[in-house]
C-alpha cells in the first residue's frame, strides 16, 4: 500500500487534513487536491465536525506549490488536458476553502508557495510561525499567481500586491501578516498544544491572542517606494521607473523582473487589477483560469518549468523581451473562455 500523500480524518470535534509529502516539500498534486475537496464536502454538513484543521508533515514546508511535473510532461507531448483538468479541480477546491461555512485553521510552517497559498491562504484562520516563508513566484516559471492568489494580492495594502506578484518576493511571518496572507503569529513550539485544544473543543475561540513575530518585516518600510513604482499603468512603465529610481531596492527589483516572463508579469498586473475591481474568490479564479488554461499551449509555462525545474539551467528563453511584448499576446491569454470550460459546475 502506498502512503497517503494527503491524510484526511476526523478527530474529536475536528476534520483534519495533513499534507504528507515532506520529502517533496508537500507539493500539491491533482490527487491531493481532489482529496481535500472530497473531505470538505463530506464534513460540510457533518454534525461531528465543528472546524477543520489543515497542517503538514515535516519542518521545511506547509506546501511548496503545485506538483507540475505531470502537467509539464503531458504539455511537452502536446497534451494540454491534464493541466487544464488539474487547475480546474484545484480552483474549485480553493473556492470551497474560501467559502467554507465552518472555521478552517491552517498551520503554515516553512515554504508556503503557489498551491500552498491556495490551500492555507484562503482559510478563515491562517497561522504562521518563525519559519514561515510565503511567496507567489509563478512569473518565474511562465505562469501567473493563481489558486486565488490574485485576490490576496489585490487586497494587499497599496500596490504591494503588484510588487509581490511580479517579483515573487518572499514574505516572512511579519510581512505575511502585513500583506494579508496570514492572520496570526503563534510560536511553532505551541502549535501541537493548540491543535490538540482545537480538536478537543471544536471551539475556534480557544485560539490565543496574536503575538508579535520576532523577526521584523520589510514590506511596510518599503511601502512608499513600492507604491511610487508599482502604481504605474503597465509593465513597461514599471520597468522604466525601476531603471530610473536609483535606489538599492529598485536596482535589486529590476534584476528580478529581468529574469521573469514578460508575458506572465503583464498578465499578472492586469489580473490583480481586474480582481481588485470585483473582489471575490470566484472572479479571481475565473480570470486566472483564462491564463492557465492557455499557459502550456500559448504561454511561457513549458519553457519556464524546463529552465527552473527540469533542466535547472536557470536560463529560460522567454517568448518576448520586456521591451517587445505585443499587446495581442497578452490579450489572447486573458480572453474569456467559453462556457464549456467553466470551473463552476456546481453552486455551493
115 assigned to active site: yes
User: What pLDDT does 345 receive?
Assistant: 58
List the domain boundaries for the chain: 6-341
- Cβ contact 197:265 at 8 Å: no
Among the listed residues 210, 301, 322, the one whose alpha carbon sits nearest the alpha carbon of residue 255: 322
78 assigned to active site: no
Round to the nearest angstrom and report the end-to-end CA distance of the chain.
Answer: 34
Edge-first strand order for the sheet with 104-108 is 6-11, 14-19, 51-56, 104-108, 125-128, 184-185
Please tell me which residue in 55, 138, 162, 300 is annotated as part of the active site. Answer: 138
Q: pTM, whole model, 2 decimals? A: 0.96
Please tell me which residue in 29, 146, 266, 300 is annotated as part of the active site. Answer: 146
Q: The domain 6-341 is classified under which CATH number: 3.30.70.250, 2.60.60.20, 2.60.40.420, 3.90.226.10?
A: 3.90.226.10
Among the listed residues 141, 158, 120, 144, the one whose alpha carbon sits nearest the alpha carbon of residue 36: 120
Please tell me which residue in 114, 115, 116, 118 is annotated as part of the active site. Answer: 115
Please tell me which residue in 65, 66, 129, 168 is annotated as part of the active site. Answer: 66
Among the listed residues 128, 121, 129, 174, the one whose alpha carbon sits nearest the alpha carbon of residue 145: 121
221 assigned to active site: no
Q: What is the pLDDT along the chain (348 residues), one digit of tens a residue?
A: 357 999 999 999 999 999 999 999 999 999 999 999 999 999 999 999 999 999 999 999 999 999 988 899 999 999 999 999 999 999 999 999 999 999 999 999 999 999 999 999 999 999 999 999 999 999 999 999 999 999 999 999 999 999 999 999 999 999 999 999 999 999 999 999 999 999 999 999 999 988 999 999 999 999 999 999 999 999 999 999 999 999 999 999 999 999 999 999 999 999 999 999 999 999 999 999 999 999 999 999 999 999 999 999 999 999 999 999 999 999 999 999 988 888 875 433
55 assigned to active site: no
Among the listed residues 140, 146, 162, the one whose alpha carbon sits nearest the alpha carbon of residue 234: 162
Amino acid at each position: 500500500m502506498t502512503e497517503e500523500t494527503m491524510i484526511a480524518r476526523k478527530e474529536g470535534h475536528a476534520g483534519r487534513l495533513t499534507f504528507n509529502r515532506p520529502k517533496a516539500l508537500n507539493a500539491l498534486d491533482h490527487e491531493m487536491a481532489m482529496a481535500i475537496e472530497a473531505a470538505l464536502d463530506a464534513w460540510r454538513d457533518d454534525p461531528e465536525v465543528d472546524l477543520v484543521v489543515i497542517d503538514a508533515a515535516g519542518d521545511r514546508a506547509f506546501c511548496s506549490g503545485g506538483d507540475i511535473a505531470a502537467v509539464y510532461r503531458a504539455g511537452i507531448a502536446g497534451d494540454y488536458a491534464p493541466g487544464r483538468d488539474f487547475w480546474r479541480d484545484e480552483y474549485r477546491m480553493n473556492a470551497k476553502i474560501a467559502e467554507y461555512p465552518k472555521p478552517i485553521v491552517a498551520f503554515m510552517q516553512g515554504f508556503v508557495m503557489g498551491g500552498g497559498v491556495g490551500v492555507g491562504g484562503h482559510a478563515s484562520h491562517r497561522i504562521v510561525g518563525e519559519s514561515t516563508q510565503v511567496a507567489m513566484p509563478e512569473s518565474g516559471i511562465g505562469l501567473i499567481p493563481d489558486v486565488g492568489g490574485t485576490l490576496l494580492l489585490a487586497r494587499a495594502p497599496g500596490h504591494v500586491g503588484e510588487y509581490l506578484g511580479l517579483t515573487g518576493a518572499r514574505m516572512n511571518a511579519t510581512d505575511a501578516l502585513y500583506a494579508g496572507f496570514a492572520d496570526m503569529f503563534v510560536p511553532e513550539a505551541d502549535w501541537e498544544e493548540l491543535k490538540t485544544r482545537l480538536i478537543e473543543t471544536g471551539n475556534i475561540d480557544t485560539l490565543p491572542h496574536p503575538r508579535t513575530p520576532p523577526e521584523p518585516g520589510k514590506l511596510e518600510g518599503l511601502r512608499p517606494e513600492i507604491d511610487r513604482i508599482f502604481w504605474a499603468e503597465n509593465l513597461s512603465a514599471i520597468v522604466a521607473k525601476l531603471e530610473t529610481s536609483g535606489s538599492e531596492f529598485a536596482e535589486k527589483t529590476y534584476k528580478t523582473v529581468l529574469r521573469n516572463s514578460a508575458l506572465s508579469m503583464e498578465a499578472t498586473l492586469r489580473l490583480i487589477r481586474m480582481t481588485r475591481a470585483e473582489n471575490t474568490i470566484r472572479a479571481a479564479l475565473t480570470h486566472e483560469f483564462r491564463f492557465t488554461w492557455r499557459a502550456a499551449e500559448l504561454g511561457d509555462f513549458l519553457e519556464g518549468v524546463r529552465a527552473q525545474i527540469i533542466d535547472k539551467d536557470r536560463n529560460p528563453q522567454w517568448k518576448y523581451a520586456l521591451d517587445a511584448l505585443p499587446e495581442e499576446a497578452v490579450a489572447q491569454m486573458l480572453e474569456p473562455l467559453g462556457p464549456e470550460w467553466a470551473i463552476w459546475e456546481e453552486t455551493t
